[in-house]
């Protein structure tokens, strides 16, 4: 690894660079966006890098190119041919539209091992449909002059239930159910490594048991919308947010009980039905009225 973080800029709070360089386990925000096509924010995707190995959570649009950017910026673990382990929170399109890219592009440029994917019921069917859709491409690339190793284009799918879903010498990954509207299965993930515990909320509204799922984490990466935007959307979208997402007030109340070392805001909702995006200061102002811990806005390519 050439350097400890993929991006350092003046937005980072004091101590960010030092803390990042000391941590053996790092969080790389590859995509912090929503379904809205914001050019500054790719679709949801986060990498946990533990002991030089990358573990991906979600694969929204742009995931492979963001990983390539992190590799170019000095993170050896983020070479796209190293993307062989991925965990999916749920099947919404903004979290999965980069899946064909994740399956095919690393293989085309040299991945020789199957992609291991862990996720909710339905991910196996989605995988089969993608491979069927690209069957002609796969055939030409394996049987033609490219003669690619077919193993690198394979996917080993694991449809999971709550509990420990993966463990190796670097990390233990625990999945927990979250409440995301009408989805019958949606998960958050807890990554425990020798030096850090990281929780990724997935898309969720508050639910009974959320504190226990988050408790003891060093890093909490959480979706959020502002209360100010809630007042501006239609009744339909208000109902949607209450069932599917978490407000700044709700998140502040959660953080006050969990007390993570750092709270990272991601998947910030644009106000459905009104267009436009909320200013970052609105999120921070609303949360810090109720929560005094360290909280930051996540941006694509930030490393913590």
Among 48, 37, 133, smallest CA distance to 94 is for 37
Range of the domain at 180: 23-297
SS3 10: coil
- Structural domain count, the chain: 1
Instruction: Tell me, yes or no, whether 56 lies in a domain.
Output: yes
Task: Note the pLDDT tens digit of each residue in 6-56.
Answer: 222 333 443 333 344 445 899 999 999 999 888 999 999 999 999 999 999
Instruction: Tell me, yes or no, whether 3 lies in a domain.
Output: no
Residue 182 annotated in active site? no
Distances (CA, A) of 20 to 4, 185, 294: 7, 34, 15
Q: In what order do the strands lie in the sheet with 85-87?
A: 25-31, 45-50, 53-57, 85-87, 115-119, 155-159
Instruction: Tell me, yes or no, whether 1 lies in a domain.
Output: no
Instruction: Tell me, yes or no, whether 8 lies in a domain.
Output: no
Q: How far apart are CA 210 and CA 208, in angstroms?
A: 6
How many Cα neighbours within 13 Å face the side chain of 36?
Answer: 17
Residue whose pair of structure tokens reads 């019921």 in the numeric block: 121
Tell me, what CATH number does 170's domain have?
Answer: 3.60.15.10
* Cβ neighbour number for residue 109 with a 10 Å cutoff: 14
Among 203, 295, 293, 297, smallest CA distance to 257 is for 293
Q: How far apart are CA 46 and CA 261, in angstroms?
A: 18
Instruction: Tell me, yes or no, whether 222 lies in a domain.
Output: yes
Task: Note the pLDDT tens digit of each residue in 181-236.
Answer: 999 999 999 999 999 999 999 999 999 999 999 999 999 999 999 999 998 899 99
Whole-prediction pTM: 0.90
Task: Note the pLDDT tens digit of each residue in 233-257.
Answer: 999 999 999 999 999 999 999 999 9
Among 120, 30, 124, 118, smallest CA distance to 80 is for 30
Of 9, 38, 73, 94, the catalytic one is: 94
Please provide the size of the chain in residues: 304
Instruction: Tell me, yes or no, whether 12 lies in a domain.
Output: no
Q: How far apart are CA 53 and CA 266, in angstroms?
A: 23
Instruction: Tell me, yes or no, whether 6 lies in a domain.
Output: no
pLDDT over 70 at 287, yes or no: yes
Instruction: Tell me, yes or no, whether 234 lies in a domain.
Output: yes
């Amino acid at each position: 690894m050439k350097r400890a973080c993929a991006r350092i800029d003046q937005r980072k709070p004091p101590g960010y660079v030092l803390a990042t360089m000391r941590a053996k386990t790092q969080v790389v925000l590859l995509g912090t966006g929503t379904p809205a096509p914001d050019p500054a924010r790719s679709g949801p995707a986060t990498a946990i890098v533990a002991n030089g190995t990358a573990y991906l959570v979600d694969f929204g649009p742009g995931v492979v190119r963001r990983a390539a950017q992190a590799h170019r910026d000095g993170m050896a673990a983020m070479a796209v041919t190293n993307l062989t382990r991925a965990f999916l929170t749920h099947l919404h399109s903004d979290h999965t539209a980069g899946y064909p890219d994740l399956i095919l592009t690393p293989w085309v440029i040299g991945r020789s091992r199957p992609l291991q994917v862990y996720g909710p019921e339905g991910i196996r069917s989605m995988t089969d449909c993608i491979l069927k859709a690209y069957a002609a491409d796969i055939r030409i690339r394996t049987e033609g002059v490219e003669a690619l190793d077919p193993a690198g284009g394979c996917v080993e799918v694991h449809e999971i239930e709550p509990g420990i879903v993966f463990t190796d010498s670097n990390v233990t990954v625990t999945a927990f159910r979250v409440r995301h509207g009408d989805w019958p299965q949606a998960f958050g993930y807890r990554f425990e490594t020798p030096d850090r515990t990281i929780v990724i909320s997935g898309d969720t509204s508050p639910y009974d048991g959320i504190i226990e799922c988050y408790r003891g984490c060093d890093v909490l990466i959480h979706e959020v919308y502002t209360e100010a935007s809630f007042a501006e959307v239609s009744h339909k979208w208000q109902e949607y947010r209450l069932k599917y997402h978490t407000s700044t007030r709700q998140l502040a109340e959660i953080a006050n009980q969990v007390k993570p070392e750092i709270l990272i805001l991601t998947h910030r909702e644009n106000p459905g039905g009104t267009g436009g995006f909320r200013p970052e200061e609105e999120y921070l102002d609303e949360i810090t009225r109720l929560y005094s811990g360290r909280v930051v806005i996540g941006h694509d390519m930030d490393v913590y």
